[in-house]
Structure 1
Amino acid sequence: METDKSKNLIQLLLGKSQEAFIIGIEIYNKPTIRYRVEGFSFFICNAWELMLKAYLIKTKGEKSIYYAKDEKRTITLSNCIEQIFTNKNDPLRMNLERIIELRNTSTHFITEEYEQIYVPFFQSCVLNYCDKMLTFFDVDVTDKIPANFLTLSIKVSSIEPKEIQARYPKLIAEQLLETLTHINNSVPEEGNEKYAILIKHDIYLTKKKEIASASVAISKDADQAAFIFKNVKDWQQTCPHRRKKCIELINKEIKKNNINFINPTKDPSDDKYHTFNTSHFDLIVKFYNMKSNKEYCYIYDRGTTPQFTYSNSAIEFIFSEIKKDLENIIRNLKKQIKKS
């Protein structure tokens, strides 16, 4: 049971945790700071440790954050993770363990290439932190830092083994390449957003101007092929969310804003918060033709089954439409689609 003392301690830990989190984000997103990978890994681990200790105090009491045989010393971040995320295969736990490894490595030696290797884990870690602050303490981090700042500034370039071996001493080069191989093998092909957000840059030619992120001009008289790129856009950042993630974020907004979305297939008296589901999402996307709007949707179309990813603007638009008519939006859209 929480006492006034433990409540004050929890608030103190949460305040410091959010400060560490914001400092980590600011360090990473400043292009002039060369120490940003090391700095980020240090501060994000500190943010998690303070937040998880606050959660242990909340759920198990103040003594839970101290070693049983030495009550003057508090437990480590790894100890907190083991107590709270007990499943070793939990993607969130695995993500944190990867970043702890990096933090420990960076105290000895680190190379610029670690940024390319670890940035998918960093981005997942940022989003996981925001999610757990909201779940554990009903604290919305975006009240202190705008949501668009949660997207990390990414420096992406290929890592060539020959260049690594030429640039670094043998032992360091082998360790870096071994780390890269190990991490690449650990990430599922389809990714897992709680473990690592995959960053893919696929270049292919298309005659569909409306979905192209770059335009090219080719000279027939040139000895070699030449391309002129204009209006290059990073669709991985502008439309990062798959449908499942969009639905998850919309449901969080419904709950956070304390609104009663009505699912017409259920009795309104059954639940206070009805779940916004896949059929609701597809209905709204279809009615407003969102897949044809580049502001909302990006289409991966390579001659096979198209894949769609959505922007934060798409999520905001859908949520705003839900708020306009909580009880009838789904029913009304179905009627209007049938008429058309």
Structure 2
Amino acid sequence: MVFKLCIFNALSGFTERNNWVLFSCVNKCIIVIMNYQGSSRHLFRNAKSALLASIEIYNKPSFLYREETFVILLLNSWELLLKAIISKNRGSIYYRKKRNEPYRTMSMTDAFTKAEKFFPKKIPTLPLRANLSLLSTYRDNAVHFYNEKNFGILIYSLAQTNIINFKDLLLEIFGKNLAHDISWQLIPLGIEPPIDPVKYISQGSKNTTAKGSAVRQFMNTLVASLEEVEKAGDDTARLMTIFNVSVQSVKKIEKADFVAGVDGVRGATGGPLIITKIQDPNITHPWRQKNIVQKIGSLNGEKFTPYTFQAICFKFKLKEDPRYCWRSNEGDLTRYSNEIILKIKSLKKQEVAGSLESYRSRSNS
């Protein structure tokens, strides 16, 4: 750990308090030592608490300052999480001390730059950074969006993705599942039907006046960020995902993308069911096999070929998973999502070799 010693004497014990370590001395003096790394345990705990508080506020039935307060707490939780990651890896969360000035901890942007090298490979940093940047823009300029009807739906869509990214980082780096702290038995009921985010975006330029120029600028930034993420070959679902939630009987699942169904079967003891259906493969699954092969290029130092692709799909049953593969009802068209690229790139050399062996054995049998 990195410390700054302020007073020194013979020691008899110590107590850790947030970012300071207090050593008690034999002659009753106190030694105060600055811990430049911070306490990853305290930072992690506070990050999780801030996130849960943001969700609780957003879900309040009546709260006039909902989006603004929600985003402030959400971004604060990210700043704490990033600093917890830095602290866990024995890095300093402080800027270099300037003479006659107080200690300053890093901003969220600088903490992200320092922490991203510790992210797992399966979680791309570019869309996460873009998502946080857009939410920060809203937080810093909220006054410009007050009178823009339904603009909150964009913040909702960005924040939903943001929380999923937070959950995944928490699980991968700290081994903690955020789902254990949240009750999912919530009923999403409303007086008016929800606004379609895609419809809002497509009609935004028509409905906004000169006063709504901030909205147009925000949406232009969103589109530019999506294009940048796509160009880099990363998963745009890490930047923004549109969730369509409705409460229906399980007999009517075909009308929703994500349906919180209620099992009406007598004697059923299960909770709400989440049923997934992909609607538009042109958006969710834009790639053919040749595109996947071109985008991956090489894998673990070896040229990536259509044969390798088929072997991996066979071994890990990727074509049976709707997250990765979509097939037309006629069966003559197969398309793949961005997620299948991330999945394949995450495979180790021995996993690829095992896939090729299994595929050869299948062909020979």
1:1-28 CA distance string (max 9 Å, x none): 2576457722111101011123334545
Structure 1 match to 2:219: 180
1:114 to 1:19, Cα distance in 2 relative to 1, 3 A = same
What pairs with 1:242-253 in structure 2 (closer than 5 Å)?
A: none
Which stretch shifts more, 114-123 or 285-294? 285-294
Quote the Cα distance in structure 1 between the aligned partners of 2:205 and 2:338.
37
Does the 8 Å contact 2:47/2:80 carry over to 1? yes
Q: Normalising by structure 1, report the TM-score.
A: 0.54
Matched, 1:334 2:359: yes
What is the aligned counterpart of 2:163 among 113, 116, 126?
126
What is the aligned counterpart of 1:231 among 250, 254, 260?
254
Gaps of 5+ in 1: 202-228, 245-264, 266-277, 320-325
1:238 to 1:282, Cα distance in 2 relative to 1, 3 A = farther
Structure 1 match to 2:29: none
Quote the Cα distance in structure 2 between the aligned partners of 1:298 and 1:33.
41
Matched, 1:17 2:17: no
1:288 to 1:14, Cα distance in 2 relative to 1, 3 A = closer
SS at match of 2:102: strand
Q: Which amino acid aligns with 1:164?
A: N
CA shift for structure 1 position 105: 2.1
Structure ID, larger Rg: 2
What is the aligned counterpart of 1:71 among 102, 113, 121?
102
What is the aligned counterpart of 1:51 among 61, 75, 81?
81
CA shift for structure 1 position 187: 1.8
Structure 2 match to 1:308: 336
Quote the Cα distance in structure 2 between the aligned partners of 1:76 and 1:163.
37
Structure 1 match to 2:235: 193
Quote the Cα distance in structure 1 between the aligned partners of 2:93 and 2:228.
42
What is the aligned counterpart of 1:117 among 131, 136, 154?
154
Quote the Cα distance in structure 2 between the aligned partners of 1:91 and 1:295.
18
CA shift for structure 1 position 238: 5.1
1:284 to 1:31, Cα distance in 2 relative to 1, 3 A = farther
Q: Normalising by structure 2, report the TM-score.
A: 0.51
Matched, 1:140 2:171: no
Structure 2 match to 1:207: none
Quote the Cα distance in structure 2 between the aligned partners of 1:77 and 1:112.
29
Q: 1 or 2, which has the higher strand percentage?
A: 2
What pairs with 1:210-289 in structure 2 (closer than 5 Å)?
A: 231-234=254-257, 282-283=310-311, 285-286=313-314
1:198-226 CA distance string (max 9 Å, x none): 5499xxxxxxxxxxxxxxxxxxxxxxxxx
Does the 8 Å contact 1:66/1:74 carry over to 2? no
CA RMSD of aligned residues (A): 5.4
1:85-119 CA distance string (max 9 Å, x none): 69xx9443333222111112236643453334345
Q: Which amino acid aligns with 1:186?
A: S
Does the 8 Å contact 1:20/1:43 carry over to 2? yes
Question: How many residues in Structure 1 have an aligned counterpart in Structure 2?
Answer: 263
Does the 8 Å contact 1:53/1:65 carry over to 2? no
Quote the Cα distance in structure 2 between the aligned partners of 1:68 and 1:106.
35
Gaps of 5+ in 2: 4-15, 22-34, 118-124, 189-193, 245-251, 259-274, 288-299, 301-305
SS at match of 2:45: helix
1:243-292 CA distance string (max 9 Å, x none): 99xxxxxxxxxxxxxxxxxxxx9xxxxxxxxxxxx988854643686635
Quote the Cα distance in structure 2 between the aligned partners of 1:130 and 1:105.
27
